[in-house]
Structure 1
Amino acid sequence: MTRREYTLRDIHMALDGEMPAEDREAFEVWLAANPDMKAMSTRFAADRARLQNVLASVLKEPVPERLTEVVTEDQPRTTRTSWLPAWRSAAAAAVIFAAGVAGGYLAGAGGLRTQAEAKEELVENAIGAYVTYAADQGHTVEVGGTDRPYLEGWLSKRTGLKLVAPDLKSEGFELLGGRLLPGGQSPAALLVYKDQKGAQISIYMIAKGDAKAKGTYTAKTGGPTAIYWLDKNYGCAIVGSLPEQRLAEVAKTAWKQLVEAVPG
């Protein structure tokens, strides 16, 4: 039996049926001995099954040639809207996110996107998470926002970041809660907020190497807007369907609180 320390990548490989048969028994032993990882594997499997069920008919459609070119990096990216697929609708973002969760589509399956830029991956996943969860009134969060200290501690422990749930009451938004998401090499955290009119925004956060960037992305064809930052080994994207100026105001309030919590 192969004995080694396993990682999140191995969890995804096991769920995708890509783990070598000789590793499977030792992996199951490791999983049983690590309750947090076992719980994460269970959540990933449940999310994968739900996404596959909801998006089954769409996932069977052929991948557009334009998207394939972006994924394989055959085309140069020279403008703000050229480095991200120009999704025709918010549903397309959910498909991309679901494919990443369900089949490793954006995680490098078959050698694709092995050199993806950090900002591309951040915004793609943040918009996908918003469309998949923030817009899902029935399954928006895993942990409610009534106990903010517990929520912050839970997400911080699992992402390896010092995270806070920004207080956005001054902007008219109440915290609904958060959830943990697969994010490639490390888990990502998602916080969801809602105003009195029912509009929802999300804050997607993940450890992201030493990349440094910031900006705003809105697809030419519409859909949610993402305002993002990469700095101090930290990636954050605030996503919503508010007017861009209004979202920028909310994002500024949130970012000030978020960055103050990041050490150094």
Structure 2
Amino acid sequence: MSRTFSETDIHLALDNELPADEKAAFDAWVDANPDMKALQQRYAQDRERLRSALEGIALEPIPGRLTSVLTGDAKPRTNRWAWSRYVAAAAVLLAVGGLGGYFVGQRAEFAPQSSALKPIAENAVAAHLIYANEKRHVVEVGADQAEHLNAWLSNRVGVKIVAPDLKSGGYDLVGGRLLPFNGKTAAQFMYQDPTGNRLSLYVTKDDSRQDSGYRFMTERGADTLYWLDGGYGCALTGNLPEKALTQLADLTYDQLVKSAGEPH
């Protein structure tokens, strides 16, 4: 059975990193999905514009002071202006796939990403696209039974869950439902603003108990901010820019992770 492709594979294809034996299936998937084809064309155009605009800079020799900072062999200068110039130059080199990316890839060590983190985001998007468009069956249990909803989902997911109050962010709780997640379970809370725009919160138990920090992605037309913290895996999904999602995520974090207590 062929695997499911996503927006990530578009970037892999543009970078010539998509496995050769998957190219035919990927091309067929793009042709069958107009939205993904439009994204591919936009990314390809952006890539060429960036390359054309910055090609001259990327071909310049990399200053020794910059490479030493990128590789961690030297500390940046305390002069803010000098350091900002180094950061800008590094960003240019990384953006066009120049030598700066090579040095970072060879020498920098990054914290590993939990294997559960990206699937949480992907499952959250899939669930949001299904249920945010429902008219009569948006949730299994309504907000009028919030106490029962919280207890039910806490017991089934295996971590104490309290539906965050996002009214100060402009969203009222509609209710929630139980969902599957990689052989386990997850909770989905649905919210709605006065215009009818819907936002969903996806929560599952994270046994790794890592703290990933917020991560953002846009996939299949949905914007998602997702993270791991304190035994919770969370994703907030809607049609909102990253800044607005971050403000709502802060409200969610304060109530769900800080106030809900430790996992069962």
Contact 2:187 2:203 in 1 (8 A): yes
Match of 1:240 in 2: 238
The CA deviation string for residues 208-229 of structure 1, in whole angstroms up to 9 with x for no partner, is 221521323223x772211112
Match of 1:261 in 2: 260
> How does 1:1-264 map onto structure 2 within 5 Å?
89=35, 117-210=115-208, 212=210, 213-219=212-218, 223-259=221-257, 260-263=259-262
Aligned Cα root-mean-square deviation (Å): 3.4
Q: Which has the larger radius of gyration?
A: 2
Residue segments in structure 2 that go unaligned for 5+ positions in a row: 20-29, 37-113
Contact 2:215 2:227 in 1 (8 A): no
What is the rounded CA distance, in whole Å, between the counterparts of 1:257 and 1:158 in structure 2? 20
Instruction: Tell me the TM-score normalized by structure 2.
Output: 0.55
Q: How many Å apart are 1:198 and its aligned residue?
A: 0.8
Paired residue total: 168
Q: How many Å apart are 1:69 and its aligned residue?
A: 11
Letter in 2 for 1:215: Y
What is the rounded CA distance, in whole Å, between the counterparts of 1:64 and 1:261 in structure 2? 36
What is the rounded CA distance, in whole Å, between the counterparts of 1:88 and 1:215 in structure 2? 30
Q: How many Å apart are 1:125 and its aligned residue?
A: 0.5
What is the rounded CA distance, in whole Å, between the counterparts of 2:199 and 2:254 in structure 1? 17
Is the partner of 1:136 in helix, strand or coil? coil
Q: How many Å apart are 1:158 and its aligned residue?
A: 0.7
The CA deviation string for residues 167-217 of structure 1, in whole angstroms up to 9 with x for no partner, is 111111111000000112321000000010111100000012215213232
Is the partner of 1:139 in helix, strand or coil? coil
What is the rounded CA distance, in whole Å, between the counterparts of 2:163 and 2:196 in structure 1? 19
Residues 1:64 and 1:167: Cα distance change in structure 2 (over 3 Å): closer
Letter in 2 for 1:234: Y
Q: How many Å apart are 1:233 and its aligned residue?
A: 2.4
Letter in 1 for 2:213: K
Instruction: Tell me the TM-score normalized by structure 1.
Output: 0.55
Residues 1:233 and 1:194: Cα distance change in structure 2 (over 3 Å): same
Contact 2:164 2:256 in 1 (8 A): yes
Residues 1:263 and 1:169: Cα distance change in structure 2 (over 3 Å): same
What is the rounded CA distance, in whole Å, between the counterparts of 2:148 and 2:34 in structure 1? 38
Runs of 4+ in structure 1 over 3 Å off: 60-70, 86-90
Is the partner of 1:230 in helix, strand or coil? strand
The CA deviation string for residues 59-98 of structure 1, in whole angstroms up to 9 with x for no partner, is x99955985998xxx869xxxxxxxxx99759xxxxxxxx
What is the rounded CA distance, in whole Å, between the counterparts of 1:216 and 1:141 in structure 2? 26
Contact 1:180 1:190 in 2 (8 A): yes
Q: How many Å apart are 1:140 and its aligned residue?
A: 1.2
What is the rounded CA distance, in whole Å, between the counterparts of 2:223 and 2:244 in structure 1? 11
The CA deviation string for residues 30-76 of structure 1, in whole angstroms up to 9 with x for no partner, is xxxxxxxxxxxxxxxxxxxxxxxxxxxxxx99955985998xxx869
Contact 1:211 1:230 in 2 (8 A): yes
Contact 1:118 1:211 in 2 (8 A): no
Q: Percent identity?
A: 37
What is the rounded CA distance, in whole Å, between the counterparts of 1:157 and 1:170 in structure 2? 28
Residue segments in structure 1 that go unaligned for 5+ positions in a row: 1-59, 77-85, 91-115
Q: How many Å apart are 1:261 and its aligned residue?
A: 0.5
Contact 1:210 1:231 in 2 (8 A): no
Residues 1:263 and 1:63: Cα distance change in structure 2 (over 3 Å): closer
